[in-house]
Amino acid sequence: MPLATLKDLKSPKGKRVLLRVDFNVPLGPKGEIGHEEDARIRAALPTIQRLRKAGARVIIVSHLGRPEGREAKYSLRPVAEHLAKLLDKDVPLIADGFDEDRLVDKKIAAMKNGDVSMLENIRFYKGEDSNGSFLARRLASFADVYVDDAFAVAHREAASNVGVTKHLPSYAGLLLETEVKHLDKLLGKPKKPFVVLMGGAKISSKLPTLKKLLAIADTVMVGGGMANNFFRAMGLDMGRSLVAPEDVKTAKGLLARHKHTLLLPKDVLVATRLDDKAEPRYCRPGEIRKDEHVVDLGAETIREWAAVIKKARTIVWNGPVGLFEVKKFSHGSISLGRMVAARSSGKAFGVVGGGETVQCLLRTGMEEYVDHVSTGGGAMLEYLAGKSLPGIKPLMKRSKKK
């Protein structure tokens, strides 16, 4: 694995390190971050501490959510405060514009060895998502070297994880290095049966990956929002559940080509409201009423899928199979999470990844049984589907800048 890592970063003392992390974590209504929710933040601590101990000045860059411009609810302030608690050290948030004044530069110049500061949500700045060269250069101007620990966003080609590497010597952080090391065990020849469990809401972006996984895996179980598109493609009425016409088209093609590999829910849980006051009922996918949403897997499906997981030698899980944040709708995600964990470490090589998926896993209390818990959701799936990720490529030694 020819990644340039922290071992290759010579004499970090006094250096300004631009550290890209993925602190895209769910915030409570008042910006609170609970223990199940801060897994991605804790995962980057080893790199932050290693750099601090070596005397570097750490400038953290992250995105949060998908804001349209500067939306206050996507500010990283609560995240900076949370990190400060974990580090027991101030983490000032630098929220100034990059092009107006030189305030950012002054704040960074005032940092001392071992200090940590955090830039405001990088998606507030023009050019992040489009990998704009102004933003990439500006970010690079803040630092002497670049360290990337943002595995979870490595499938995106943005200014702060790809563009910036053109202008600074770039290294993988400890988390990114570990992710790649573990996931590489699955590339090539996964032990069979290779079973994938997929759900979640980010459907469009995961369909191309699903396509690739269908070609490699023995069984791919698709639940959650993703499954709705397949049901729609079969001509079923999905009531008030979200379906995307584009995805339905893709789903149709996949159904025709992969009917032996693709496993869809036999029954589902549906409800007319999306909170704990709901009175959900089980039904077949063809029996969903106009005013109902699909909120979880049905009981029969959970049993059937559990049996598939029990035979697996390799298991990958990404995406909750229902609206697990509502307790009444969490049964499918939690019970399958338990099954995946129980089957892992020993009987099967088990990998679980994604922000929400890891939250589910932590709720089972069985996370230590899983062979690798990945911070990446989409990134993990794309990596496993054999894609070279835009965020990882520039960290390879051969393309590393001097």
The set of catalytic residues is: 40, 202, 355, 378
Other beta carbons less than 10 A from residue 102's beta carbon: 9
- Cβ 41 to ligand 3PG shortest distance, Å: 12
320 vs 394, beta carbon nearer Mg ion: 320
Range in contact with Mg ion (rule: CB under 5 A) among 81-89, 311-319, 371-379, 389-397: 371-379
44: contact with ligand 3PG by CB under 6 A: no
Quick one: which of 16, 20, 24, 27 contacts ligand 3PG (CB under 6 A)?
24
Closest CA to 62 of 82, 42, 79, 87: 79
5 vs 375, beta carbon nearer ligand 3PG: 375
Q: Return the DSSP state at 64.
A: -
| C-beta of residue 149 within 8 angstroms of C-beta of residue 174 | yes
Host H or E run for residue 352: strand 349-353
Closest CA to 174 of 52, 26, 68, 293: 52
106: contact with ligand 3PG by CB under 6 A: no
Q: For residues 199 and 201, what is the distance between their CA atoms, to the nearest angstrom? A: 7
376: contact with Mg ion by CB under 5 A: no
Quick one: which of 199, 353, 355, 391 contacts ligand 3PG (CB under 6 A)?
355
The full 3-state SS of 254-314, as one line of letters, equals HHHHCCCCEECCCCEEEECCCCCCCCCEEECHHHCCCCCEEEEECHHHHHHHHHHHHHCCE
200: contact with Mg ion by CB under 5 A: no
56 vs 159, beta carbon nearer ligand 3PG: 159
Which residues, in sequence order, are CB contacts of 316 under 8 Å at separation 6+?
186, 194, 195, 196, 197, 213, 350, 351, 352, 353, 380, 381, 384
Q: Return the DSSP state at 344.
A: T
Report how many residues bind Mg ion under the rule CB under 5 A.
Answer: 2
378: contact with ligand 3PG by CB under 6 A: yes
Q: For residues 37 and 238, what is the distance between their CA atoms, to the nearest angstrom? A: 31
| C-beta of residue 165 within 8 angstroms of C-beta of residue 35 | no
- Cβ 205 to ligand 3PG shortest distance, Å: 6
Return the one option of Mg ion, ligand 3PG, none that residue 153 interacts with (CB less than 5 to 8 A, by type): ligand 3PG
Q: For residues 102 and 91, what is the distance between their CA atoms, to the nearest angstrom? A: 20
- Cβ 395 to ligand 3PG shortest distance, Å: 18
Q: For residues 371 and 393, what is the distance between their CA atoms, to the nearest angstrom? A: 25
22: contact with ligand 3PG by CB under 6 A: yes
Which residue is at the shortest CB distance from ligand 3PG? 24
Return the one option of Mg ion, ligand 3PG, none that residue 136 interacts with (CB less than 5 to 8 A, by type): none
User: Which two tokens mark 357?
Assistant: 């998926």
Strand 293-297 to 281-283 pairing: unpaired
Binding mask 176-215 for ligand 3PG (x = CB under 6 A): --------------------------x-------------
170: contact with ligand 3PG by CB under 6 A: no
Quick one: which of 12, 223, 350, 377 contacts Mg ion (CB under 5 A)?
377
> What's the CA angle centered on 372, arms 370 and 376, to 5 degrees?
120
Range in contact with Mg ion (rule: CB under 5 A) among 59-67, 218-226, 309-317, 347-355: 347-355
For the segment 69-108, give every residue that binds Mg ion (CB under 5 A): none
Return the one option of ligand 3PG, Mg ion, none that residue 123 interacts with (CB less than 5 to 8 A, by type): none
Binding site for ligand 3PG (CB under 6 A): 22, 24, 66, 152-153, 156, 202, 355, 377-378
Binding site for Mg ion (CB under 5 A): 355, 377
